[in-house]
Structures are given as structure tokens and as C-alpha cells.
Amino acid sequence: MVLAQELRTAARHGKLDALTAILEGEGVSHVNDADAEDGATPLLMACCYGHTPCVDALLRFGADTNISGKHGITPTFFTCQENKPDCLKLLIAKKADLNKPNLMDGGSPLYIACSKNNADCVRLLLEAGADVNLPRKDGSTCLQAALKKKNLVIAKLCIQYGAEIDRKLPPANKTPFQMAMEIVYEKDVETRKEYLIGMYEPGDLCGLLCDMLKEDNRKLRRRIAAKEAGGEPPETDRREGDEPGDATETQMNSGEATDRSVVVRSPKKEESKKKKGGKKKAKE
């Protein structure tokens, strides 16, 4: 127990020499021991605080990348929430589970990265094969999270890696394309004209809308071709409510989208909370 606590303390404070000394001795058998209160392992602590050398050392000595802490939070989830891309690279290299959802809202590491505007983590996850269409418990997706934050760079990344643009999303029952168009119409008249003329820089909203339309048109052409040939469209090209062979376009729906991402209290915040509680008791 003592060695396990020393390991977690060294990982939390980024004390690489102390951490390595423990791991090279008897402490290696405690490399995956979790804290009794919050379930945090040494690896989870090191990832949360962004101590990349400590993360590397723990992984070399056999730390499990997929052990969850409180609420099912993994080291991968914390690196994406706290925006620690260097730590994330190490986890990806060790084949960490990139899609493991938390137990509260069911959000994946990619979802939290999108909702926190952490573009570097989003790119790393997508390049490593994270599921861009994996929904939370409420059905909302990573692309929806990016559009809710009006982050066009992340939204474009999601589109490039296969995010569905014609799936109606809760709670407003709108498609991502409708959400993107609404962002355009929030602008003043002159800005809207600039977008719609099509003179845009790579990564801006007009470019994003064009990409969405191109992808939508490709799907529609495939569905029409399948219908004319007397076959069924590919499953990935079907839209909600389609009957087999139906090539009708998505209908527009109104409503207001919301995104309530779960942000997990990190071990460092829990530690600060405990210290404040201790000071209050001392005064009393």
C-alpha cells in the first residue's frame, strides 16, 4: 500500500527519478494499483497532469492503458479532456482503447476532445482510428459537439473522417448540415454574402458546407444508381426513415440543439477540494 501511494504521488507531481526508482524495485508490482477513493492509477494521474516522461516510464513498466477510474474514466479520456496530446500519443502507441465511453453520459474520448475544442487530440484520435460516429447515451455525436462550439476546424476533421452529416440529432432533431447553416445565418448580411459567394479560406464554414454537400451528393448518386439497378443502397448511405430503395432527400426540421458534455473532475481538482476542506476544519 505504501509503495502504491508513493507511485501515485510521484506520478501526480511528475517526479520521474522517484517514479523510476520505485518501478525498478518492488514497486513495479503496484504499477496498476488504484486509489481507494477515486480509483486513479499512477498512469491516470500522470496523464491528467500531463507528465509525459512519467507516462512513458509507467507504460514501459507495464501500466495498463485501459484501467478506469471513478465513473469509468480512462487515461485516454483524461488526456483528451485536459488537452495533453503528447501523453495521448504514447497511449495510442500502446494500443489503448480509443472508444471506451465514460459511465455517466457515455461520451467517448473523441467526444470530450471535440466538446473542449482540443483539435490536436481530435486529430490524433481520428488518425488512429477512433469512431467518429460513436454517440453518447443521448444520441449526440462528435460532429454535433464541434458544431455546437462553432469549431470549424474540428468539424471539418470529423467530416473528413466519415462523420455522418444527414443523421438527425437530438434533442432538436436537426442534421449537422442544418446546424452549420444556422451558424452562417447568425452572421450579418455582408458576412453571409461572403460565405455564400464561395470565396473562402480552407477550413472556414463555407468550405465545410461545401464538403458536406459533396459528400451528401455522392451518397445520393449511389442510392439513385442502386435503385435504378433494382438493388438496395449501401447501409451507410441510408437515411433515417428510408424504406428500402427509397432515394428521397432528408427533410428539414426545426428546434434548438444543446450539448451538455460531462467534464470529469480531475484528480488535481479533487486534491484542491480536500485541502480547502482541511483548512475549514482547522479554523473550526
Q: pLDDT means per 10 residues in the chain (284 residues)?
A: 89 96 92 90 95 98 94 95 97 97 95 97 98 93 89 87 81 74 63 49 54 61 67 56 40 36 59 59 53
Q: How long, in residues, is the chain?
A: 284
Q: What is the DSSP string of 125-153?
A: HHHTT--TT---TTS--HHHHHHHTT-HH
What pLDDT is recorded for position 279? 55
Tell me the three cell numbers of residue 43.
498512469
One-letter amino acid of 239: R
Q: What residue segments make up the domains of the chain, in order of their start?
A: 1-167, 185-224
What pLDDT is recorded for position 260? 45
What pLDDT is recorded for position 180? 72
One-letter amino acid of 252: M
57: Cβ–Cβ under 8 A, 6 or more apart, which residues? 16, 19, 20, 23
Tell me the three cell numbers of residue 208.
465545410
Q: Does domain 1-167 have CATH number 1.25.40.20?
A: yes
d(CA 133, CA 26): 43
**172 to each of 76, 175, 242, 255, how far by Cα in Å?**
30, 9, 20, 4
CB-side exposure of 194: number of CA atoms within 13 Å? 9
Cα 14 to chain centroid distance, Å, stands at: 25
What pLDDT is recorded for position 151? 85
Closest listed residue to residue 7, CA positions, set 37, 46, 38, 36? 46
What pLDDT is recorded for position 61? 96
Phi, psi (rounded to 5 degrees) for 141: -115, 170
Q: 3-class SS at 6?
A: helix
d(CA 61, CA 14): 16
What pLDDT is recorded for position 256? 36
What pLDDT is recorded for position 178? 76
Whether residue 46 contacts residue 12, with contact meaning beta carbons closer than 8 Å, is answered with yes
What pLDDT is recorded for position 137? 92
What pLDDT is recorded for position 244? 41
Closest listed residue to residue 177, CA positions, set 257, 242, 280? 257
